[in-house]
Amino acid sequence: MGAGIEIRAAHFPGRAPIEAYGNGGFRFAGMSHRGSLLCLPSGVHGWTPLDPAALVVADFARVLDEAADIEVLLIGLGADMKRLGPDVRDALRQAGIASDPMATGAAVRTFNVLLAEGRAVGAALLAVD
């Protein structure tokens, strides 16, 4: 019997700047990922929100688990600027995380700058085409 393909949750165990974004995914650390990402102190994780158009607190469970190591969470909400729901903003604030929603491109650029400065930054990035 041959070994089958093993599907695992996407995770890169390190902090890495985002090298490129678009076409439904991201490039970082010389690799590419199709879909959305969470860039956290524990590494870069594949992220699949329940409804990308209406993010809920449950979509940020991993972020909240790492709240002690995150001061600012940049939230890339796609191609255009959108508002973050008050329940999500409140949950992040109560965990001590300042949230900054913006278009994904702006979030990627800001994340890379803050990461290079050694700041306690995280990013939740919705993929864009």
Which sequence spans correspond to the domains of the chain?
A: 12-125
For residues 3 and 106, what is the distance between their CA atoms, to the nearest angstrom? 42
The list of the chain residues with pLDDT below 50 reads: 1-2, 5-8
The pLDDT value recorded for residue 10 is 66
Strand-by-strand arrangement of the 31-34 sheet: 18-22, 25-28, 31-34
Taking the model in full, what pTM does it have?
A: 0.90
Whether domain 12-125 has CATH 3.40.50.1970:
no
For residues 82 and 107, what is the distance between their CA atoms, to the nearest angstrom? 13
The pLDDT value recorded for residue 82 is 83
The pLDDT value recorded for residue 9 is 58
Which is it for strands 121-125 and 72-76: parallel, antiparallel or unpaired?
parallel
